Every structure is written in structure tokens, then in C-alpha cells.
């Protein structure tokens, strides 16, 4: 398992993976040595830099997360949420075919090991509240604003 780190505007991103793909991307608060990025993680680090610079809206990476079949089904559904858009946990449950599974969907969302690439930050409460985010609600808010910044209206 290879590891790399990248300083982002909202913390240090930690990438883990191997030849079969990325297994996790998380945000950490403690300092880590940055060093040389292993070859198998170079593309992920490069694409993340582009995302935070505002020039990348879609990731093209080989993913290999560990999880149950249900979790993987939820994570695949998350990847269909367009950049700059949000949906509710209820909407996501409906898309997956079982409105009663809302708590299980939320739990799977919370176990997402691939921060930003699998965009769990785009799922909000039915009333529009920013609910639940493993990386902290301040990061969720930042990511949503980054993806859909409010444009200043011209007065003239």
C-alpha cells in the first residue's frame, strides 16, 4: 500500500492505494511528511490539485474501495451526482429503490473512503441543512461553495 499527502485549502489529503487503484482518500488535521509521491498515486494527486484550483470537475481515477455490496451501491450512486449539485438523503434512497433505507444509505454515505472523488459532500438534509460529514461540516460547506460559488449580480 502506497501513501501520499497533499496540502489543500481545507486540510491535508491523505491518499492510499496500489496498482489496483485508490483505496482511500481522507482529510487529516495533523502534519505529515510530504515527500515524493509514489507513481501509483501521482495521477490522483495531480487531479486533486486541479480540483482545488477550480479546473477539474470530474475525476478519472481507478478506484478500489473496500466495503459491503450495499455500501458500494450507494457510493456508485453518489458518483452520479453532478458537480455543483446536491440531493437529499431521501432522494438518494429513492434512487436506490428503497425510501425506507434512508438510514442505511446515510450510514453508507458516512463510510465513504474516497473523499471528494465519491462526492458524499453533495448529499444534504431534505430541508437543505448540511447534515453529517465525516470531514466536518465546515469542510462540507467549503466544498459545496467551491463547486457552486454564489455569483455577484451586476447592478448595471
Q: How far apart are CA 110 and CA 131, in angstroms?
A: 11
Cβ proximity of 50 and 15 under 8 Å:
no
- Determine whether 120 is an active site residue: yes
Q: How far apart are CA 122 and CA 86, in angstroms?
A: 5
Counted residue by residue, the chain has a size of 156
Q: How is residue 87 annotated by DSSP?
A: E
Q: Provide, for the chain, the percentages of residues in helix, strand and coil under a 3-state DSSP scheme, each rounded to the nearest 5.
A: 35, 20, 45
> Which residues are CB-contacts of 94 (< 8 A; sequence separation ≥ 6)?
none
Helices (H), 2-134: 42-53, 69-78, 89-95, 102-110
**Of the residues 22, 74, 108, 120, which is catalytic?**
120
Which phi and psi angles does 53 have, rounded to 5°?
-80, -10
Catalytically annotated residues: 120
Amino acid at each position: 500500500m502506497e501513501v501520499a499527502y497533499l496540502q489543500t485549502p481545507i486540510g491535508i489529503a491523505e491518499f492510499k492505494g496500489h496498482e489496483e487503484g485508490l483505496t482511500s482518500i481522507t482529510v487529516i488535521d495533523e502534519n505529515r511528511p510530504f515527500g515524493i509521491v509514489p507513481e501509483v498515486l501521482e495521477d490522483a494527486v495531480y487531479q486533486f490539485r486541479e480540483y482545488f484550483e477550480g479546473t477539474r470537475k470530474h475525476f478519472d481515477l481507478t478506484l478500489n474501495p473496500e466495503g459491503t455490496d450495499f455500501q458500494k451501491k450507494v457510493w456508485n450512486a453518489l458518483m452520479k451526482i453532478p458537480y455543483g449539485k446536491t440531493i437529499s438523503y431521501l432522494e438518494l434512497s429513492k434512487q436506490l429503490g428503497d425510501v425506507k433505507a434512508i438510514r442505511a444509505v446515510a450510514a453508507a454515505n458516512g463510510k465513504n473512503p474516497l473523499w471528494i472523488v465519491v462526492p458524499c459532500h453533495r448529499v444534504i438534509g431534505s430541508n437543505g441543512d448540511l447534515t453529517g460529514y465525516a470531514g466536518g461540516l465546515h469542510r462540507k460547506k467549503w466544498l459545496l461553495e467551491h463547486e457552486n460559488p454564489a455569483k455577484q449580480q451586476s447592478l448595471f
